[in-house]
Structure 1
Amino acid sequence: MRLFVVGDIIGKPGRRALKYMLKGYRDLVDLVLVNVENAAGGFGITKKVYEELKSLGVDFMTSGNHIWDKKEVYEFIDSVKDLLRPANYPDGVPGKGYGLFEKDGVKFALINLMGRSLLDSNLDNPFRVFDRIYQEVSKITNIIIVDFHAETTSEKWAFGLYVDGRASLVYGTHTHVPTADHTILKHGTGYITDVGMSGCWYSVIGMKSKEAIERFLKGIPQKYEVEEKEDVIFNGLLVDIDNISGKTLRIERLQYYIRKEELDGV
């Protein structure tokens, strides 16, 4: 099974970059996985954006702490099976945090988890939540894919080591900054600390730089808006997973700088 994995896509520039890239890759891969918590205006996701991404060929969408920023998500997240929120939210929260799926006769599990360090300490322990989910899904499939949405590299790396040999792939999201530590761990789990964002390159994690700099200069809150006028960077992964063992066979990091003129009409 070949996966095309995309980290946080930031607003319209991120969606356009994804569309641009999928023209070349969609027919070469089995699954397209995208983190969409910043897909609509940089914060959250709407039904319209969800449908746009599905029309591009996205198979499954994961998220993180911004999943609830667009309130209309409450109206449709329970009615779709391919949009996940972190599984370690407490019981009673709308949506699902994981699922068992099938593509071309191959069964797999997709799990969305969120770290607690410097994020939300009220969440359930993601390590323990993984253990509980693993007990269920490992009876059905060896292919277990995890989007671990977390702030600190130490928590992500520790999680990767903890699930090595049980998860097929652990890819980090949230920081918007790609890391160069993509690897196959000792027991066959593919791993990267953060896939990185897709959005405008000359920005501060996808947002207009002026307001971000003002915040650091003056220490007071600013209203952030997605940068849309600069060239775009795309970050993603190509991952090959063995259909029988569930081990990662190959993991490759993708990074493309796309001039805004190339996105005209996309």
Structure 2
Amino acid sequence: MKILFIGDIYGDPGIEILKDSLEELKKEYRPNVIIINGENIVNGRGINKKIYLEIMKLGVHAITMGNWTWSNTDIYSFINDSKIVRPANYLNAPGDGYKKININGKNLLVINAMGRVYMNPSLENPFITIAEILEKEQADYTFIDFHAEATSEKVALGHYFDGKVDAIVGTHTHVQTNDARVLPKGTLYITDVGMTGPRDGVIGVDKEIVIQRFLTGFSYNNAVASGVKQLNGVFLDLDKKIIKTIHIEK
């Protein structure tokens, strides 16, 4: 099973470079499954149906989410019938926290979970939530997008499920980490895949807005940065135990 996973798509620049790059990535890696994280896809805040349908036309199999899942209220109108996988540790929320994708007779279980450290302490424990899903759902392969702030929480979750799932990728911090590896018991792992969108902002936001916020404690609302675009992702071959980072600039 070969998976192409593209990290947090941020606003129109992220959508544009995804569209510009996806065909060449398909030719190079020949993935069986394409997954993206789409929680920032509409101007950095959530997803709507129009953009969702655009992304589906590109041949994407699933869209994982994160802390901005519910910020675009249009999502409530279509999430239940979509290929969106929202964080499973939102208790009794609309949509699904995991989905199975059937590829050539093999099932891939895709799980999305969110961290609690520096994020939302009211969420269910992601370690327990994922363990409960694994206990009741059988699949040939399992892939987890762990959307979390703290590096320690991500690394700990990786080791906790090492050997129990095939791959764990981190999202949310928008900077690709240099630790893509095979964990001791065989799980493919990276702490953060990075973001797909404007390269020269501050994790997607216009840099002047964020600089002023740090200087004065006050700034205007976020605006998506412009300029050079970047695409960050990973390619995972679950059978051959290969993980490769991807970085493209245009």
The unaligned stretches of length 5 or more in structure 2 are none
Give the percent of matched residue pairs that are identical in Structure 1 and Structure 2: 39
Letter of the 1:40 partner, please give it. Answer: V
Q: Of 72, 76, 79, which residue of structure 2 is paired with 1:77?
A: 79
Specify the alignment match of 2:221 in structure 1.
223
Letter of the 1:58 partner, please give it. Answer: V
The unaligned stretches of length 5 or more in structure 1 are 243-247, 259-266
Matched, 1:67 2:65: no
Specify the alignment match of 1:257 in structure 2.
249
Does the 8 Å contact 1:8/1:173 carry over to 2? Answer: yes
Q: Report matched runs for 1:55-204 at 5 Å.
A: 55-80=57-82, 82-91=83-92, 93-137=93-137, 140-204=138-202
Does the 8 Å contact 1:10/1:198 carry over to 2? Answer: yes
Query: Alpha-carbon deviation of 1:107?
Result: 0.8
Query: Alpha-carbon deviation of 1:142?
Result: 3.5
SS for the counterpart of 2:77 is helix
Query: Alpha-carbon deviation of 1:192?
Result: 0.2
For this pair of structures, how many residues does the alignment match?
A: 248
Query: Alpha-carbon deviation of 1:183?
Result: 0.3
Letter of the 2:55 partner, please give it. Answer: L
TM-score normalised by length of structure 2: 0.97
User: Can you list the C-alpha shifts for 1:202-229, whole angstroms capped at 9, x where unaligned?
Assistant: 101111111111100101253001113x
User: Can you list the C-alpha shifts for 1:125-176, whole angstroms capped at 9, x where unaligned?
Assistant: 0000111001012xx3241100000001000000000000011000000000
Does the 8 Å contact 1:112/1:148 carry over to 2? Answer: yes
In structure 2, distance between residues paired with 1:190 and 1:78: 30
Specify the alignment match of 2:52 in structure 1.
50
Query: Alpha-carbon deviation of 1:105?
Result: 1.6
Let me know the Cα RMSD of the aligned residues: 1.0
In structure 1, distance between residues paired with 2:87 and 2:174: 18
User: Can you list the C-alpha shifts for 1:15-49, whole angstroms capped at 9, x where unaligned?
Assistant: 11111221112351111110000001111001000
Moved over 4 A (4+): none
In structure 2, distance between residues paired with 1:123 and 1:221: 29
Matched, 1:237 2:234: yes
In structure 2, distance between residues paired with 1:159 and 1:5: 19
SS for the counterpart of 1:165 is coil
SS for the counterpart of 1:237 is strand
Letter of the 1:89 partner, please give it. Answer: Y
